[in-house]
Structure 1
Amino acid sequence: MKERELEMISLICVSNNYDKLNTILKSSLSRQKDVNYELIIVDSNKYGFNSAAEALNFGGKQAKGDYLFFVHQDISFQDDFELAKLESYCRNFIFGVAGVAGVKNIEGKVVSFSNIFHGDPKTKAASKSISTPVEVDAIDECLIIIPKKVFSTNQFSIIGPTWHLYGTDYALQMKLINSPVLVFPSELWHVSDGKSLNLNYFDAIQWLLKKYSKNYSVIYTFFGVWPSNPILLKFKCLYRKLRFYIKGV
Structure 2
Amino acid sequence: MQENVLFSIITIVNKEKVYQDFKKSLKEQEGVNYELIKIANDNNQFDSARTAYNSALEKAKGDYLIFIHPDMRFLDKNSLQDALAQVVELKDLGVAGVAGCPDKVHHHKSTLVTSIVHDNPPHHFGKLIDKVTEVQTVDECFFVMKRSFCKKHPFSSIQGWHMYAVEQCLIALLDGKKNYVIPARMWHYSTGNSENWQYIQTGREIARRYGKYFPTISTTITTWETQNWIGLFIIPPLKLAKHNLWRKLGINKK
- What TM-score does the superposition give when structure 1 sets the normalisation length? 0.91
- Please, which moves more after superposition, 165-174 or 187-196? 187-196
* Change in 2 beyond 3 A, CA 1:230/1:66: same
1:76 is the counterpart of 2:62: no
What amino acid maps onto 2:9 in structure 1?
A: L
- Give percent identity, aligned residues only: 29
* Change in 2 beyond 3 A, CA 1:182/1:4: closer
Measure, in 2, the Cα distance between the counterparts of 1:53 and 1:107: 27
Q: What is the SS of the residue equivalent to 2:102?
A: strand
Q: How does 1:145-160 map to 2 (within 5 A)?
A: 145-159=144-158
Q: What is the SS of the residue equivalent to 1:39?
A: strand
Q: Is the 8 A contact 1:6 1:35 kept in 2?
A: no
* Change in 2 beyond 3 A, CA 1:154/1:189: same
Counterpart of 2:226 (choices 225, 228, 234) is 228
What amino acid maps onto 2:222 in structure 1?
A: G
Measure, in 1, the Cα distance between the counterparts of 2:87 and 2:244: 41
What amino acid maps onto 2:239 in structure 1?
A: R
Measure, in 2, the Cα distance between the counterparts of 1:203 and 1:115: 29
> Which runs of 5 or more residues in structure 1 are unaligned?
none
Measure, in 1, the Cα distance between the counterparts of 2:214 and 2:169: 12
Partner of 1:143: 142
Q: Is the 8 A contact 2:97 2:181 kept in 1?
A: yes
- What TM-score does the superposition give when structure 2 sets the normalisation length? 0.89
> Which runs of 5 or more residues in structure 2 are unaligned?
248-252
What's the CA shift for 1:105?
3.5
What's the CA shift for 1:88?
1.2
Q: What is the SS of the residue equivalent to 2:25?
A: helix
Provide the aligned length of Structure 1 versus Structure 2: 244
What amino acid maps onto 1:27 in structure 2?
A: K
Measure, in 2, the Cα distance between the counterparts of 1:104 and 1:36: 31
**Deviations, residues 22-65 of structure 1 (Å, cap 9, x unaligned):** 02x10111111111111000001346211111111111221111
Q: Is the 8 A contact 1:57 1:155 kept in 2?
A: yes
Counterpart of 1:37 (choices 34, 38, 44) is 34
Which runs of structure 1 show a deviation greater than 6 angstroms over 4 or more consecutive aligned residues?
none
What's the CA shift for 1:144?
1.1
Q: Is the 8 A contact 1:199 1:244 kept in 2?
A: no
What's the CA shift for 1:19?
0.2
